[in-house]
């Protein structure tokens, strides 16, 4: 008997145990400092050198690249190693699923990756570590080393569209899975949030693991409110999933 395809939609809540704050949560960065949202808004970033300089300082000071996977990330990777078909659709940009051992091809990063930078002119990419080293060395707003264009994090900023290819793959996986687990996401940011309903519409069991209520709770087969770091590993070891 073949094992069910398990799709996980992961949000900021899965990475808080790794020291990465939830920007939209009750105590999140955007609520504490609305001005900070400008640092990751495309039009502000492209049009204001001072916003870019502040954005680079923020990235240098947050130490996101030093974050390590936690028990929840490792549990997802362990499920994949056990032979269960697993695909992760993530709203996160931290790369922690891959660092935990999940193959790159099995992770769809809806909002891009904070581990790379991209030139807004020639589209050349480079490691974020290299750009931050240049900032550390005194370049407040490091330009592209190939064409001199404006560099930005390879993440989807506010005001930018999701990559249609990545989104299309996410929709295909959602329609094909038998189990859809939404973890640490408010299910309020579209189009990612709509994947939960799409999965149910195509016959998948929906499990929501989140501290706060979501708009899709009434469609879920199971709701889990316990801390993700302990609840998700237990869930992924259970017969509900395997």
Active site residues: 111
Helix axes 71-81, 228-236, angle to 10 degrees: 10
Asked whether 97 and 77 are in contact (CB, 8 A), the reply is: yes
The answer to whether the beta carbons of residues 94 and 114 sit under 8 Å apart is yes
Chain centroid to Cα 215, Å, comes to 19
* Under 8 Å between Cβ of 17 and 71: yes
């Amino acid at each position: 008997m073949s094992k069910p395809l398990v799709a996980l939609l992961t949000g900021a809540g899965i990475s808080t145990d790794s020291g990465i704050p939830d920007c939209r949560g009750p105590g999140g960065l955007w609520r504490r400092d609305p001005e900070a949202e400008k640092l990751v808004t495309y039009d502000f970033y492209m049009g204001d050198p001072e916003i870019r300089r502040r954005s680079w300082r923020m990235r240098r000071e947050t130490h996101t690249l030093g974050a390590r996977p936690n028990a929840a990330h490792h549990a997802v990777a362990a499920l994949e190693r056990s032979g269960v078909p697993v695909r992760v659709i993530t709203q996160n940009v931290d790369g922690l699923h891959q660092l935990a051992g999940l193959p790159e091809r099995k992770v769809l990063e809806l909002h891009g990756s904070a581990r790379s930078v991209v030139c807004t002119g020639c589209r050349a990419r480079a490691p974020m570590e290299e750009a931050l080293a240049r900032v550390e060395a005194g370049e407040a707003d490091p330009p592209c080393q190939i064409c001199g264009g404006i560099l930005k994090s390879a993440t989807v900023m506010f005001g930018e569209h999701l990559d249609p290819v990545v989104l299309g793959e996410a929709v295909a996986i959602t329609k094909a899975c038998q189990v859809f687990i939404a973890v640490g996401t408010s299910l309020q940011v579209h189009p990612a949030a709509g994947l939960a309903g799409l999965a149910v519409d195509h016959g998948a069991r929906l499990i929501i693991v989140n501290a706060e209520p979501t708009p899709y709770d009434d469609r879920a087969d199971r709701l889990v409110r316990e801390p993700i770091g302990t609840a998700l590993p237990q869930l992924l070891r259970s017969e509900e999933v395997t």
